[in-house]
Structure formats: structure tokens, C-alpha cells
Amino acid sequence: MEIYKDLQKALNAGTYVRLTLADGEHEGFVIALSPALVLLQAIHEWQDVGALVAPVETVEAVEISDYHDDQIKILDFNSVKRTKRYGWVRLGGWQDLFKSLQFKEKFVVVSAEDGTEVGLIDTIEADCVVIKAIDPGGNWQADEVEWPFDDITLVQFDDSYSRTLQRYVEKRASQPTSH
């Protein structure tokens, strides 16, 4: 499994990488790895934009740029460092990942080929996760969404979109309702 070896090298070296997945390219630092899942501290436009987890089997390429050293200098200049803040994330499999995210009460963005949902993890089953989803207007959806592990292509958290929705929902929940 050449991709796994490349991911392991990137993790060990703390190297800035570009991962090619079916949904596109993602840049950042590989900060955790298991045989099943890879955790990337995502970087976009020289900013730390949260974390993403993808199945190792879906990684098509791991690329270290010829400009790696210069890119690291630019990230340092912009005060973006490889982080250890995701040390609590468990990557033993989807169940472990979702349990660790649920424990931290993180809003997540769960993606599959046929769609994406944002929300809180409600329950974790043997073969799926159930999300209490939020619509783009910041409203809880009436029905929960079940995501079979086999269908999940990407999980994101601590990204601007989900963090903003989480803060918005929490603020609305803390405000008294008027009648």
C-alpha cells in the first residue's frame, strides 16, 4: 500500500502535503493516521481551516511540492503552525472517530458522493452515524440523517462553516423566546 507509506512519511516528517481525493485536492499537514483513516490539518490560502478526515483507501495521491520549504516559511510568516490540538481525535475507525467528535460536542460536516450534511452527532451504530442536521439557515432539520460508514467520503470539523453554524445555533438556543 504505497499511499499509506507516503502518508506515514508525511506524518513523520511534519511535511506540508497535497492530498488528492475523489472530491478534489486538500492541502495541509497529516497529523494522525491509522490503517483506515487519515487526519489532515487543512490549510487553504495560507490559513488553518480546520480538520478533515478521509478514508485512506480514497486517497489517490500524496504530493510534496517542490516549493515545500518556501511554503512552510510562508505559513510560519502567517503564524500557521502544524498543530497538536487534534490529539484527542481517535482514528481506529469511523466509530472511534465519531465517538471522539461526539464527546467534544463538535459540529461536523459529513460528506458522501450523494450529498453533505452539517450538524451534531446524535448516535453511533455499528455501521452508521446518525446526525442531528442543521439547514443552511441555521435551523434544526425535523428528521435526523443516517450516514452508513461505507458511504462516507469525508468528515470535516473545526472549519469556518460548521463553527459558525454551531455558534449561531447555540446563541439562538440561549436567547429567550418571545410570545
CATH of the domain at 48: 2.30.30.100
**Quick one: average pLDDT of 93-111?**
95
Give CA–CA dist 149/140, Å, rounded.
23
Average of pLDDT values for 36-64?
93
Q: Are residues 39 and 119 in the same domain?
A: no
Nearest CA to 30 out of 87, 82, 96 is that of 82
Domain that holds residue 159: 93-179
Shared domain for 43 and 121, answered yes or no, is no
What's residue 178's pLDDT? Answer: 61
Residue 69, pLDDT score: 80
Residue 35 burial (CB count, 10 A): 11
User: What's the total number of domains in the chain?
Assistant: 2
Q: What is the pLDDT of residues 118-141, one digit of tens each?
A: 999 999 999 999 999 999 888 899
Coil, strand or helix at 68: helix
Which among 42, 65, 89 is the end of a domain?
89
Whether residues 109 and 174 share a domain: the answer is yes
Q: Are residues 28 and 7 in the same domain?
A: yes
